[in-house]
Amino acid sequence: MSFYLISLHYLNSIGMKTTKFIKSFFLFIFLISAMPLFASHLEGGEITWTCNGSGEYIFKVKLYRDCNGISAPYNLTLTTDAPGLSGGILCNQVSCTDLSPTGPGCPTCSTPNGLASAVLECVYESAPVVISGIPPANGWYFAYIECCRNAAITNLSNTASGYFILRAIMYSFNGLDANPCFDSSPQFAESPTMSACSGDNINYSHAAFDPELDSLTYEWALPLDGSSYPSNGYPFAAGYTYQSPTPGTSLNPLNVPATIDANSGLISFTSYTTGAFVTVTKVTSYKCGVKTAEVYREIQFVVNTCSIGTGAFNTSPDVVGGLNVEDVYVLAGDTVFRGVGATDYEFLSPSNGSVPQNITLTAVGPHFGLNDTSFSTGCLIPPCAVMASPTPITLTSAISSSFTFPTACAHAGLSNGCLQHQRCFSFLFKFKDDFCPTNGVANKILNVYVTGPEIVASGNDLLISYPGASYQWCLNGVPIPGAIDSIYTPVASGIYTVLATSGSGCSMISNPVNRSVASVYALPGQERSVYVYPNPISSSRTLNVQLKDVLIGQSVLFIYDNTGRRLKSINAHLNTTADMLVIDISDLAAGHYTLSFTDKLGELTKSFVVE
């Protein structure tokens, strides 16, 4: 205001001709200053959508901006080629969150101190939107376009226009009309990591998930350039591509270029080269094997020099056990137990006290219960996973907690118009130190694959077991009349599966087994038999014993060790000629054993291994 007052006072002291020119100049400056310049400090964002339960769509846009710039917009408009939305989709700002590093001496959005690690996340949401029609083969796009990109980007070329484009794409599912809304896009459970220390081994994930538990894949994608969508890819600076967006060995032989795990989404890299780097992560969802959505998260992260003292530099916490990604496979009904933790014995910089660093553990994902402690509420599908105590938890130098996930039929049997034999539940454990101006961050991803009942092939027969369930055998997806027992002998070639239904009405599909009639009848075997599975088996599991063509009535089973010593005897009353028995073997040590079944027709034996 004082600038304009001084200028007008000066105008009164000079001639009219000069005054007219200078007034025009200041009018130009005023108009330029009134333009929306916030985009020059835009550092990333994403577009997603959810179904609101009433058949309508709610679109959400997140923008990440440099706190050293001017304020984010109060609203924005998405452009789209979806029918009936030629005017775009208005999204209003609903919240802003400071994503700056935390700890002594760290910047904040209110006092960024010129540091690029100070970042603000602003969230925008639309009113409920109705979209009718069937998306074409290339889908419907939803885009947000602004000018201009931050000028301090290292891996992008300065030859482009500077435009910034966020996008998401909605695809058709089996020709269904998009009205009513039945499929949400992938969502991001974790805010992005926007800064890292040079020389550190970086491991982090955007932690995407799908509300309907559709399958997800991750890959790098192109940032876009242009004032409209679709547009061309943004050109990269020499030595960089969208598939290799971080510094490589040509810039420093110690650099390790960034990779992204297609299944877990874990991003890993090491950069001794400092700068600002743009990456785009594409997450694609598949419902029953059909692509339904693509969402893109674009971020600009900075690599800083993080000096602790002379010759020493900060690194992120070390995950206990060294595994950043762990895959666990369980049968629905099993419980997963894990200990999680990290250590960091480094110190803060001398300017911040040179004291031991703190570590904060945060459990991230939609499958945790309320406050990380409720088995019954707060997750997508109960029972929920829990931690020993609510997170975040902060401790000095070392931190640990325990994780429990009691799986159930519902985790394997959720139906989206199809049943899948196996579903993945991903859990992210984030460990962050308090070094400033950039926190060291490490992620551990635990993928729990929950499966339905397993078909076991033995000779001519197929076996299935899931306690308390009823069965329906299917050939090429078509139910076989009368095939409802736990054992089935194929009489035709094709793909065999079993639909298992629990007592609560939850349905699960088994693994598919391809059988050929010719190969079945070429196999030697006899009708009277005993099978045991799984084999080998963990002592924490129960042993399934499947009998075939035995006598109804009283019988006895024995278990012998490899020296012939009898360890267990089990009396059983059989109600059918093909009963399935479940035996507790928790008292057996690891080793080789023999199971013996005896009825009035004689003895049947089968060997098994306890691991």
340-363 tens-digit pLDDT = 999 999 999 998 989 999 999 999
Q: What's the CA gap between 528 and 547, in Å, rounded?
A: 8
Q: What's the CA gap between 75 and 158, in Å, rounded?
A: 29
Q: 474, 508, 525 — which closes off a domain? A: 525
Q: What's the CA gap between 25 and 18, in Å, rounded?
A: 11
**What's the pLDDT band for 417 if we cut at 50, 70, 90?**
low
Evaluate if residue 518 carries a pLDDT over 70: no
Q: What is the CATH number of the domain that holds 495?
A: 2.60.40.10
Residues 483-513 pLDDT 10s: 999 999 998 888 899 998 888 788 888 888 8
Q: 525, 554, 581 — which closes off a domain? A: 525
- Mean pLDDT of all residues belonging to the chain: 87
Tell me which residue has tokens 């971020």. Answer: 299
Same domain, 413 and 499: no
Same domain, 425 and 490: no
Q: Is the peptide bond before 148 cis (omega within 30 degrees of 0)?
A: yes
Residue-level pLDDT at 457:
84
Residue-level pLDDT at 416:
59
Question: Beta-carbon neighbour count of residue 7 at 10 Å?
Answer: 14
Evaluate if residue 523 carries a pLDDT over 50: no
Give the residue, 453 or 260, on which the prediction is more confident. Answer: 260
Evaluate if residue 388 carries a pLDDT over 70: yes
Same domain, 540 and 596: yes
Q: What's the CA gap between 487 and 471, in Å, rounded?
A: 10
Residue-level pLDDT at 29:
39
Residue-level pLDDT at 539:
67
Give the residue, 245 or 353, on which the prediction is more confident. Answer: 245
Same domain, 472 and 413: no
Same domain, 600 and 575: yes
Evaluate if residue 6 carries a pLDDT over 60: no
Q: Mean pLDDT, to the nearest integer, of 22-50? A: 58
Same domain, 339 and 443: yes
Residue-level pLDDT at 16:
41
Give the residue, 71 or 113, on which the prediction is more confident. Answer: 113
- CA distances to 317, 344, 387, 443 from 396, rounded to whole Å, are 11, 8, 19, 18
**What's the pLDDT band for 414 if we cut at 50, 70, 90?**
low
Q: What's the CA gap between 575 and 420, in Å, rounded?
A: 32
Q: Is residue 362 part of a domain?
A: yes
Q: Is residue 503 part of a domain?
A: yes
Q: Mean pLDDT, to the nearest integer, of 170-180? A: 95
Residues 259-274 pLDDT 10s: 999 999 999 999 999 9
Evaluate if residue 39 carries a pLDDT over 50: no
Q: Is residue 50 part of a domain?
A: no
Question: Which residue type occupies 114?
Answer: G
Same domain, 399 and 332: yes
Residues 147-159 pLDDT 10s: 878 778 999 998 7
Give the pair of three-digit tokens for residue 359. Answer: 């570590």
Give the residue, 453 or 251, on which the prediction is more confident. Answer: 251
Q: What's the CA gap between 8 and 27, in Å, rounded?
A: 12
Q: What b/e sequence results for 494-516 when a residue is b if at least 16 CB atoms lie within 10 Å of its CB, and e otherwise?
A: bebbbbbbbeeebbbbbbebebe
- Domain count of the chain? 3
Same domain, 398 and 504: no
* CB-count exposure of residue 293 (10 Å: 0-12, 13-18, 19+): buried
Residue-level pLDDT at 575:
78
Residue-level pLDDT at 538:
78
Q: 422, 452, 482 — which closes off a domain? A: 452
Same domain, 478 and 572: no
Range of the domain at 473: 453-525
Which has the minimum average pLDDT: 9-18, 380-389, 572-581? 9-18
Residue-level pLDDT at 84:
96
Contacts of 246 (CB under 8 A, 6+ apart): 155, 240, 255, 257, 258, 269, 271, 277, 279
Same domain, 499 and 554: no
Q: Mean pLDDT, to the nearest integer, of 235-255? A: 96
Residue-level pLDDT at 270:
97
Contacts of 26 (CB under 8 A, 6+ apart): 4, 7
Same domain, 432 and 391: yes
Residue-level pLDDT at 540:
66
**What's the pLDDT band for 536 if we cut at 50, 70, 90?**
confident
Evaluate if residue 9 carries a pLDDT over 60: no
Question: Which residue type occupies 20?
Answer: K
**What's the pLDDT band for 587 if we cut at 50, 70, 90?**
confident
Evaluate if residue 83 carries a pLDDT over 60: yes
- Residues of the chain with pLDDT > 70, as a percent, come to 90
Model confidence, pTM: 0.79
Residue-level pLDDT at 367:
97
Q: Mean pLDDT, to the nearest integer, of 252-265? A: 95
Evaluate if residue 595 carries a pLDDT over 70: yes
